[in-house]
């Protein structure tokens, strides 16, 4: 195994940029992926987020492209979200600082005018979300004939987001003779399918058991009966601002994220907390992420839209206010902490309806998450009627999912009542049909 980047025979410009960035030792994925990529092989990398996979393909790509050439792109990196696309572009900028290579980032959510202008000036590397790339290609702003590198990053997330059709369309327009790289945290059936369509005799690299959280992350879970108790527990934990100095709180829905944000905003003020989700404007999201990265705010409340492509090295804690329904997202969420060999803590709040997903997550990561006692100082609230009903309905739905013949607790109760009523009616009918005989 290579103990330093010098062993890869990178040129001076790259080595100087790596040194400036403060990297000294390649991570396992970099040690395994860089040599075959430099050798021109197709590579499939199974690596969770936070393992240094972006640099694993960016460095050899920069080495092979060397310098700016012509006007048309020679490398295309596809990303599922704009946040990840921007993150990849930042990595390229970091390592290409001593080269004249030109990178353009393409994503939706804002007008294409600025992006079209950037493409006109000439480009070597395009980082794009699939939809925006196709839009600009169809509008004849991109000429893909010279593309010789194609990278699919976070392939599992792309499949979850329904990009398979767009990716097949892109595969039709890029040259057949090219080097392909695919990176994914998990191997779903759809990822297998796209890998078969996309890669030719790939070198498969797996740096950690599939979907295993980084060993630098300590996981904990609290069994919490309801929403109000979750808020009380959150408030209790955040009192320790020394330990909980920079944290991300993940919520399942935009509504919950906004509610948690408003609660924390009232308590800690605008200077301490921001919220990001799909309804927030592009600039608001970018500004919030930048402020969090720079340490200007302590707490970032987010939905899973920000679970990937958010690379902050000093996140002390991730709190899963809700357990994710897409169980693979658990690995991506907790991968926001314990990055770059630093340790971190991932805490999950779990109500009775969420225990089903915790069991699935434990099967996926092949670990049991330790359960913590709710501290005595935390008020455990009584669950309101409506929330109780919602939890019961959710548990019924889960049982039905696992057993299609299951009729549900509500159904059983209804069936019992119907049986009782039917029995009463029959007895009444019998009495009516057989009147007493008078002598």
pLDDT value, residue 36: 95
- DSSP H helical ranges for 104-215: 113-120, 130-138, 155-160, 164-173, 189-198
Give the side-chain half-sphere CA count within 13 A for 330.
30
pTM over 0.95: no
What is the distance between the alpha carbons of residues 131 and 251, in angstroms, rounded to a whole number?
26
**Distance separating alpha carbons of residues 245 and 302, to the nearest angstrom:** 17
Domains 5-206 and 217-383 share a fold: yes
Q: Which residue has the tokens 């460095």?
A: 59
* H or E element that contains 45: strand 43-46
The pLDDT profile of the chain, 439 residues, written as one tens digit per residue, is: 556 898 898 999 999 999 888 888 888 889 999 999 999 999 998 876 667 889 999 999 999 999 999 999 999 999 998 888 988 999 999 999 999 999 999 998 788 899 999 999 999 999 999 999 999 999 999 999 999 999 999 888 888 788 889 999 999 999 989 999 999 887 777 788 888 888 888 899 887 655 566 677 899 999 999 999 999 999 999 999 888 989 999 998 889 999 999 999 999 988 899 998 877 776 788 788 888 888 899 999 998 765 555 677 788 899 999 998 877 788 888 888 877 667 789 999 999 999 999 998 898 888 899 999 999 999 999 999 999 999 999 999 888 877 777 766 655 555 555 555 555 555 555 555 554 443 3
Helices and strands, counts by H and E, the chain: 16, 14
> What are the Cα distances from residue 176, in Å, to 114, 148, 150, 173, 196?
30, 9, 11, 9, 15
Report the topology of domain 217-383: Rossmann fold (3.40.50)
At which residue do the structure tokens 């590579």 appear? 43
212: exposed, middle or buried (Cβ count in 10 Å: 0-12, 13-18, 19+): middle
* Chain centroid offset of residue 138 CA: 29
How far is Cα 391 from Cα 424, in angstroms, rounded to an integer? 33
Instruction: Report domain extents, the chain.
Output: 5-206, 217-383
CA neighbor of 42 nearest in space, from 180, 193, 160: 180
Please report the pLDDT score of residue 287 as a whole number: 86
**What's the CA gap between 170 and 152, in Å, rounded?**
11
Q: Dig out the tokens for 101 from the structure.
A: 């290579």
Architecture label for domain 5-206: 3-Layer(aba) Sandwich (3.40)
SS3 assignment, position 178: coil
Q: Which residue has the tokens 């040129």?
A: 11
Q: Read out DSSP for 80-133?
A: SSHHHHHHHHHHHHHHTTTS---EEEE-SSS-SHHHHHHHHT--SEEEE-HHHH
């Amino acid at each position: 195994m290579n103990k330093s980047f010098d062993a890869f025979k990178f040129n001076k410009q790259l080595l100087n940029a790596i040194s400036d960035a403060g990297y000294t030792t390649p991570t396992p994925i970099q040690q395994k992926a860089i040599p075959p990529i430099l050798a021109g092989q197709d590579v499939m990398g199974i690596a969770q987020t936070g393992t240094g996979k972006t640099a694993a393909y960016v460095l050899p790509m920069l080495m092979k492209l060397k310098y700016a050439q012509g006007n048309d792109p020679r490398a295309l990196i596809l990303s599922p979200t704009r946040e990840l696309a921007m993150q990849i572009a930042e990595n390229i900028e970091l390592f290409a600082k001593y080269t004249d290579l030109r990178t353009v980032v393409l994503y939706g959510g804002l007008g294409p005018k600025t992006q079209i202008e950037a493409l006109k000036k000439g480009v070597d590397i395009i980082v794009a979300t699939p939809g925006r790339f196709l839009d600009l290609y169809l509008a004849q702003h991109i000429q893909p004939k010279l593309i010789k590198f194609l990278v699919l990053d976070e392939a599992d997330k792309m499949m979850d987001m329904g990009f398979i059709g767009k990716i097949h369309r892109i595969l039709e327009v890029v040259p057949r003779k090219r080097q392909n790289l695919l990176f994914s945290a998990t191997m779903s059936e759809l990822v297998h399918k796209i890998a078969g369509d996309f890669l030719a005799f790939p070198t498969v690299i797996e740096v950690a058991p599939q979907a295993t959280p980084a060993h630098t992350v300590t996981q904990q879970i609290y069994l919490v009966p309801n929403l109000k108790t979750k808020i009380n527990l959150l408030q209790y934990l955040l009192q320790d601002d020394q330990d909980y100095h920079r944290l991300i709180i993940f919520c399942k829905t935009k509504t919950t994220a906004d509610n948690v944000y408003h609660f924390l905003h009232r308590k800690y003020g605008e200077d301490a907390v921001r919220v990001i989700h799909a309804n927030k404007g592009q600039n608001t999201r970018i500004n919030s992420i930048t402020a969090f990265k720079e340490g200007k705010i302590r707490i970032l409340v987010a939905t899973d839209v920000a679970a990937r492509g958010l690379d902050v090295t000093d996140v002390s804690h991730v709190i899963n206010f809700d357990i994710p329904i897409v169980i693979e997202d658990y690995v991506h969420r907790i991968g926001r902490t314990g990055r770059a060999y630093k340790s971190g803590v991932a805490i999950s709040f779990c109500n009775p309806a969420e225990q089903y997903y915790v069991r699935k997550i434990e099967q996926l990561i092949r670990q049991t998450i330790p359960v913590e006692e709710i501290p005595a100082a935390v008020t455990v609230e009584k669950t309101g009627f409506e929330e109780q009903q919602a939890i019961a309905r959710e548990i019924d739905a889960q049982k039905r999912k696992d057993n299609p013949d299951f009729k549900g607790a509500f159904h059983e109760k209804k069936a019992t009542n119907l049986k009782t009523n039917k029995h009463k009616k029959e007895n009444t009918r019998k009495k009516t049909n057989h009147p007493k005989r008078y002598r």
